[in-house]
Structure 1
Amino acid sequence: MTQTPAAPAARARLLRTALRSPSALTGGVLVLLVVLCALFAPLLAPFDPVAYNPADRLQGPSLEHPLGTDIYGRDTFSRVLFGARTSLAVAAISITLALLAGGTAGALAGFFRGNVDVVVMRLSDILLAFPAVLLAIALLAFLGGGFWNLTLAIAVVYSAPFARVARASVLRVREEAYVEASHALGNSPWRILFRHVLPNAASPLIVEVSLRLAFAILAEASLSYLGLGTQPPAPSWGQMIADGRQLLETSPWISIGPGLAITLTVLGFNLLGDGLRDLLDPRLRRQ
């Protein structure tokens, strides 16, 4: 397929807009840093994150243990690095499932309307009627804890917002002139949906993914704090904070390390989402 001359110019404008966005740059750097820490945790971690060492229990921050040790003598810094793997994996898998389920249902509802729209929107209303964490707790009470059940619960919770965003975006695109022209040429509805509507309705979903990743990380930490997430001794930021809650006055570093990791990660995804929203705004792309 021949590339139009406008394509490189459009990409150049998008790049200039991204470089002018402090939110996108700061968020991208923070997210990249967390992802790299998760990927290279085995190389960066100075100690085994699950190995017990009672002789070193509750040591304060030092050159050997930058974030101190916990009640079992485990290095907090190493556990924070490996905890990034757990949090990012749960967030990435759950949001991918939520996007596939909710985004597909919302796109079909917005494009075909009728009974499909009614059913999808009423199911979304039911899910959105419950607070996200409360609904996840109810699902985990039925399914049981653990990595995969936690991932599934978060995916179910956030499928409804994706359905609504996808529906709204598809409703806007389906009224465009090029979609009507494709109908007039006799193209099938499925071809129109996949060839013309979905590619042009994807921008809001991209922004929604970045923002929902932050919510998923917070949900994973909250549920792990309650003991419903990844089970010990596997490192999890929420579980690490729970382990240190009784020692905040005497050994606060046990909770401070994972707390800072959650804060920086969520901040990074939020800033990245804000930057993407500005970057993908058609009004900015015309500048």
Structure 2
Amino acid sequence: MTAVPVAPVVQSPARRAARLFFRSPAGVIGLALTVLAVLSALLAPLLAPYDPVAYLPADRMQGPSLRHLLGTDLYGRDLLSRVIYGSRISLSVSAISVGLSLLVGGCFGALAGYFLGWVDTLVMRVTDVFLAFPAVLLAIALLAFLGGGFWNLTLAIAVAFTAPFARVVRAAVLRTRHAMFVEASGALGATDARLLWRHVLPNAAGPILVEITLRLAYAILAEAALSFLGLGTQPPAPAWGQMIADGRPFLETNPWISIAPGLAIMLVVLGFNLFGDALRDALDPRLGR
């Protein structure tokens, strides 16, 4: 009896990437930390045991206890509630700023990588000017001109991250621009706009997605640093960087005031970085595991 050959099962790129991602313990941990941070921000009114801005003088400077799991600050405010609500500010600033920088920088980077020539030269020279300044220093300069506050902070971080996104999108488009399926679609009469939107960008999405996850982590660090300097969301809003600054005079006697928001920043940034690293490996076609 002649055996019938069985055709090999070909996995879709999305299923293959998901299989590789969930095989990575670090990626699963990063995804769990990221989901936990997002859920904490979304469900803050349900999870926080106290009003994050309520002054309770009778409870000031208490250590961790069953009543206040992370202790209280100088004004008696519950630190756990402030850390939970602080995730709303940090994640909102990072998400909006990264979205804006991706929109602007991604558009210019895609145009530069697709059309090349003088468009590429102009866009890259402008990005060189912005990249000459460290992101936080550029954001500080903008906030010194605009003033502090949530939206000014978000805009400053977005401007600082626009040039890196333009570079990443340009490089991703360049790798896909001359693929055979793109040239075939162009030969069939597809316009440049259709080629760029329907063929080039979807197939260049891998590096862009990884850059988004890493920039979200950088944005959280930038927001914390600027809030620490007093340039971010203003008190009594529970910003993590501002909470660390408030606890700095009491590090020797009441270190939990700064430790609690510092641990929150560390865990969220670690989650985004682990998630981004695992996503990069899962989307890399050269890894044939």
Instruction: Render the CA deviation track for 1:232-270: whole Å, top value 9, x for unaligned.
Output: 001000000000000000010100000000000000000
TM-score (norm 1): 0.96
Shift, 1:11, TM fit: 3.7
Letter in 2 for 1:213: L
User: In the alignment, which of 278, 281, 284 is matched to residue 278 of structure 1?
Assistant: 281
Shift, 1:7, TM fit: 8.1
Report how many residues are paired.
Answer: 282
Letter in 2 for 1:243: D
Shift, 1:77, TM fit: 0.6
1:62 aligns to what?
65
1:143 aligns to what?
146
2:5 aligns to what?
none
Alignment of 1:187 onto 2:190:
yes
Shift, 1:197, TM fit: 0.5
Find the aligned partners of 1:84 and 1:166 in 2 and give their Cα distance.
29
- RMSD value over aligned CA atoms? 1.4
Shift, 1:18, TM fit: 1.6
Matches within 5 A, 1:87-98: 87-98=90-101
Secondary structure class of the residue paired with 2:214 = helix
Structure 1: gaps spanning 5 or more residues:
none
User: In the alignment, which of 81, 86, 89 is matched to residue 83 of structure 1?
Assistant: 86
Higher mean C-alpha displacement, 117-126 vs 83-92: 117-126
Secondary structure class of the residue paired with 2:123 = helix
User: In the alignment, which of 152, 157, 161 is matched to residue 160 of structure 2?
Assistant: 157
2:102 aligns to what?
99
Measured at CA, do residues 174 and 9 of structure 1 come closer, stay the same or move farther in structure 2, by a change above 3 Å? closer
Shift, 1:8, TM fit: 6.1
Letter in 2 for 1:266: V
Find the aligned partners of 2:147 and 2:101 in 1 and give their Cα distance.
20
Letter in 1 for 2:62: Q
1:131 aligns to what?
134
Find the aligned partners of 1:245 and 1:62 in 2 and give their Cα distance.
21
TM-score (norm 2): 0.95
Find the aligned partners of 2:177 and 2:114 in 1 and give their Cα distance.
7
Alignment of 1:43 onto 2:22:
no
Find the aligned partners of 1:41 and 1:27 in 2 and give their Cα distance.
21
Overall identity of the aligned pairs, in %: 68
User: In the alignment, which of 244, 248, 254 is matched to residue 245 of structure 1?
Assistant: 248
